Amino acid sequence: MKKIEAVLRPEDFEAIKKALKSAGFVSLTVYPVRGRGVQGGIPPYDLLPKMKLEIVVPDKDVEGVIDIIVKHSRRGIPGDGKIFVLPVYDAVRIRTGERGEEALY
C-alpha cells in the first residue's frame, strides 16, 4: 500500500475528486493547507493557499491515481502542484477489523 499526498491548486480539486470517483477511488481525505514551492510564494504572499489530498491505495493503483491527478492539474506553469508517494505499513477498517488492502475498498 502507498499513500499518495498531493498538494493542489484549490480550484483543481473538484475535477480531481470527480475523476477519482469515476475511476473507483471513492475514499479520500482532503484539507486546506498553505505552502510554498521553489519560487517561494508570490510577493507579498510567502505562503499560498493549496489543497492537500491524501489517498491510500494498493501498489497496483498508484500510477493510475497519479495519472488522474496530473491530468486535471498540469497547466505547464509554476505552481501546478506536487505529488508525494509514501509507504503505508497497515490499515484497519474499524467497523470490521479488516486489515491491509482489504480495509481500503
Ligand X SMILES: Nc1ncnc2c1ncn2[C@@H]1O[C@H](COP(=O)(O)OP(=O)(O)OP(=O)(O)O)[C@@H](O)[C@H]1O
Residues contributing to the site for ligand X (CB under 6 A): 7, 35-39, 48, 50, 78-82
How far apart are CB 34 and ligand X at their closest, in Å?
A: 7
Using CB under 5 A, which of the segments 3-11, 36-44, 86-94, 97-105 binds Mg ion?
36-44
Q: Which is nearer to ligand X, 2 or 103 (CB)?
A: 2
Residue 50 Cβ, how far from ligand X at the closest point, in Å?
A: 5
- DSSP per-residue letters across the chain: -EEEEEEE-GGGHHHHHHHHHHTT----EEEEEEE--TT--BTTBSSEEEEEEEEEE-GGGHHHHHHHHHHTT--SSTT--EEEEEE----B-TTT--BGGGGT-
Name the minimum Å distance from CB 101 to ligand X.
Answer: 27
- Residue number of the CB atom closest to Mg ion: 37
**Residue with Cβ nearer ligand X (48 or 85):** 48
